[in-house]
Chain A
Amino acid sequence: MAELKHKEDRRPGPPPVLAPGHTFGSVTSKISSLVLTDPYDWRWAIGMGIGSSLLLLFAVAVVQLLLRGIGIWGVNVPVMWGLAIINFVWWIGIGHAGTLISAILLLLKQEWRTSINRFAEAMTLFAVACAGVFPLLHMGRPWKFYWLLPYPNTMALLPQWRSPLVWDVFAVSTYASVSVMFWYVGLIPDLATLRDRAISRPAQLIYGSLALGWRGSARHWARYKSAYMLLAALATPLVVSVHTVVSFDFAASVIPGWHTTIFPPYFVAGAIFSGFAMVVTLCVPLRAAYGLHDFITDRHLDNMAKILLVTGSIVGYGYAMEFFIAWYSANPYEGFLFLEARPFGWYANAYRTMIFCNVLIPQLFWFPACRRNVMLLWICSLIVNVGMWLERYVIVITSTSQDFLPSSWAMYYPTFWDWATFLGTIGLFLFLMFLFIRFLPVIAIAEMRELVHETDHHAARERGLPAGEPHGEAR
């Protein structure tokens, strides 16, 4: 024992993924009490208040749009995409970190993902919901959205399968469906826990119905595990494909600054970058408000900061490579855009701020002290969120406002309704997020119990297989 202690002192490992001393019961009661027994508190009320106020603004903005048409937005020739598409790409990118955490890190057996995957998945769903709103509204006649889908109709029309915009419809709707299923399947055992621990009859009935009668049978768990792993394996290429297809919306066109082969990987890295920034943005206040320091430890924040550093650097590489290709290709339009219009032109401030937020700020995370400073990490995550929004702004606006012919150049000015719709979707996101925090477990309880089991198991094994191990052969 003394020897072990000595070894631990000499080489301090990373902070644990779960604070020591937790049992199955303590994990269950701590997480389920957030939903079942803790009273509403003022922080939740304030958050929900902000979220639902902005949601009302969203309702007003959408009604305005439906009544008056997209002329109330600032989109016009030559900038036809405007804030709607910027917000669409921004939101869908944010969603991607949730899938990355829940699927890719699951397949890679990164056990630190366990305590953040549930709300990261919820974040994915809500971000995709916010993203989906924009292309629909941007169509001008949102009530005819179903024309995008292949269905038998009297017009004898079907989608144009060679268009990336049609691929996008399939990619985003598949992504939304798979995310919902993945999230719900993960929730089933936890809904059963809530059913069994709920005191009020309505809560028992609602959680009981949603749990579908889950009873934790070993055969059920075996099928559940394989279904869950296979969903993860399907979601992993899916998440890459979704942002690739989103980047095709741009890259398959001929607009300078869009027509590049680096777009798919650079968009995927950017999506993960912005998504992890959003996870940090949500995770830090959540952990502080609900005292979840035992489950979301400094190890999690440290790892997420490292991911921000890596993906931020990939994004920085993308920016640099765009510059290089603009110069190396000797294409006058590309050259003008990258070497003049973006760094020194009409939108130079947006471009420079973007570089500062996305490339320079993450470099702080080379230093362990910065990764472990929670406040600094949180502020940086907000800056990255802004930076990634600006990235889409720069891509959409600079390329279209100054394309091939100077005679068709024009500035783009977002209107009040553009901003109202954007703020409105932030409201929708917050509203759904706070509902989720209130009514569903923010941390996957069954997976945490499994983590407790594995932690105990490994600890027992490290102590050299004592008598507690039933089939342990003495070596």
Chain B
Amino acid sequence: MSDERGVENHDVYGLMAEFDGVAHLIEATQSAYDHGFRLMEAYTPFPVEGLDLALGYYRNKVPRTVFAGAVLGGIGGFLLQCWSAIWYYPHNIAGKPLYSWPAFIPITFEMAVLGGALSAVFGMLYFNGLPRLYHPVFNVPEFVQASNDRFFLCIQSRDPLFDPKETLSFLESRGPRVISVVPY
């Protein structure tokens, strides 16, 4: 790592290009990926299908987290009832067997749903690294439009291919509206 580049990287988070259309952004992202950039991120005001794939992102761990949460919740709920009805507080009610599993199903189901829902929400937030109120991209004044009608692509300075001049000219060749430097 040369000194010059090290200094640069400490001051600059990345370069951010602003686009005014979905198709434009996907095209630019795809070509940045093909160009070899990996540490980059696109910002859009609504979920854009295929953009995560254009960024080379395909490991979404949320579904398996939800599955695990639902299974754990369901098993936990069922075992709680078994433990309390059979072992901890056995009580003969209308001659029903202590292990009356059909009666335990509604709560098992509810606990499975609760476990799944909690892991969906908190898993999504955890994998997204949220809450995180400060992020360098917020330093770009135009970035407020990312929650309105503008589409952004930010190539980070941590990317091995990042070079201020070359990356800038690469982004310029993609025809953005504006290119901004993202300071830390």
Contact = CB atoms under 8 A, between A and B. Distances in A.
A161 B44 contact: no
Interface residues of A, number: 66
B125 interface: yes
Interface in A62-88: none
Contact of A214 (B46, B106, B130): B130
Q: Looking at chain B, what size class is its interface with the partner chain? A: 35 or more
Interface in A184-237: 184-185, 189, 192-193, 195-197, 208-209, 212-227, 230-231, 234-235, 237
Contact of B120 (A166, A227, A241): A227
Given A193-B148, A214-B130, A226 B63 contact: yes
B107 A166 contact: yes
Contacts, number: 201
Contact of A227 (B55, B123, B131, B132): B123
Interface string A456-475: 00000000000011100000
Contacts of B45: 24, 28, 189, 193, 216, 446, 449
Max chain B Cβ within 10 angstroms of own Cβ: one of A157, A222, A241: A222
Given A218-B41, A227-B123, A25 B107 contact: no
Contact of A230 (B93, B106, B120): B120
Q: Per DSSP, are chain A's interface residues mostly helix, strand or loop, or mixed?
A: helix
B103 interface: yes
Contacts of B52: 218-219, 221-222
Contacts of A171: 106, 110
Contacts of B1: none
B184 interface: no
B24 to A, nearest CB: 8
Contacts of A450: 46-47
A245 interface: yes
A25 B149 contact: yes
A162 B92 CA distance: 11
Chain A CB within 10 A, most for which of B55, B61, B128, B138 = B128
Which of B100, B121, B137 has most A Cβ within 10 Å?
B121
B43 A223 contact: no
A181 interface: yes
Interface of B: 22-24, 26-27, 29, 41-48, 51-52, 55, 57, 60-63, 66, 70, 77, 80-81, 84-85, 88-89, 91, 93, 96, 100, 103-104, 106-107, 109-111, 113-114, 116-118, 120-121, 123-125, 127-128, 130-135, 137-138, 143-149
13 contacts: A24-B149, A162-B96, A174-B114, A181-B120, A182-B117, A193-B148, A196-B144, A197-B147, A216-B43, A237-B109, A238-B113, A241-B106, A470-B26
